[in-house]
Amino acid sequence: MIEGVLFLVLMSCGLIFGQIAEKRHLKSLVKRELESNSLPAIASRYPVDDQPYQQHLVTGGVVIASDYFKSFTAGLINIFGGRVTPFESLLDRGRREALLRMKSNAQDLKADYVFNVKLETSRIATGRAGAIEVLAYGTALVSGNDANNAPTIDSSSTNIAASGDRAISHRSVGNASAINNGGIDTTESSET
């Protein structure tokens, strides 16, 4: 009896809050996609070379969870087979969000293009239920005459860590030195 009530509560929570969250997310995705349309993200492996560009690896990632209603419905569909629409929309939203985050990182660098965009999806195990991680990454091309943005390619070895950090992320620069020290140990042990 109690289990039945709990199940109904969970289902309705998932249905109501899940739907609200999904609608809101889709709305914001459409809005931000329109705003970021000026920056082309291209899957081509061959960059344009009409002028000198500086290159930066840009990434955008998101972990997105399914709700109880979706998980349950997906379980039901699994019995009969067919399109698992609840998860399709989840993956779609995850990918679009990851791409937008990558683009916004590229826009922070004032990039003109993002080339060789790759999308990578993986399942993150959180107990029984499903959460997916989507990572979008690509090479941002920043036009060369704007030298303030970016470290040059022939930077000396002393600022390697700093320039690498700036290229990868601009959010948590403070962690760089700590991470870097950890990195030295590991590389040494993997060399031996």
Partner 1 sequence: MLISNLEILPDHKVVRHLGLVQGSSVRSKHVGRDFMAFFKNIFGGELRGYTELLHESREEATLRLVEQAEQIGANAVLNVRYSTSSIAAGAAEIFVYGSAVEIADRD
What residues between 108 and 147 interact with partner 1 by CB under 8 A?
A: 115-116, 118, 120, 122-127, 129-131, 133, 135, 137-139
Angle, alpha carbons 94-118-46 (nearest 5°): 150
Nearer residue to partner 1 within complex by CB, 81 or 145: 145
Among 38, 145, 148, 172, interactor with partner 1 by CB under 8 A: 172
Q: Is 104 in the site for partner 1 (CB under 8 A)?
A: no
Cα dist. 27→31, 85, 93, 95, 155 in Å? 6, 19, 11, 15, 43
Sole window of 9-17, 27-35, 76-84 interacting with partner 1 (rule: CB under 8 A):
9-17
Site for partner 1 in 29-68 (CB under 8 A): 45-49, 52-53, 55-57, 59, 61-68
Nearer residue to partner 1 within complex by CB, 103 or 139: 139
Nearer residue to partner 1 within complex by CB, 81 or 174: 174
| Torsion sign, CA atoms 24, 85, 94, 100 | negative
Q: Is 28 in the site for partner 1 (CB under 8 A)?
A: no
The residue count for binding partner 1 (CB under 8 A) is 72
Q: Is 75 in the site for partner 1 (CB under 8 A)?
A: no
Q: Is 164 in the site for partner 1 (CB under 8 A)?
A: yes
Among 70, 77, 80, 87, interactor with partner 1 by CB under 8 A: 70
Among 28, 78, 85, 155, interactor with partner 1 by CB under 8 A: 155
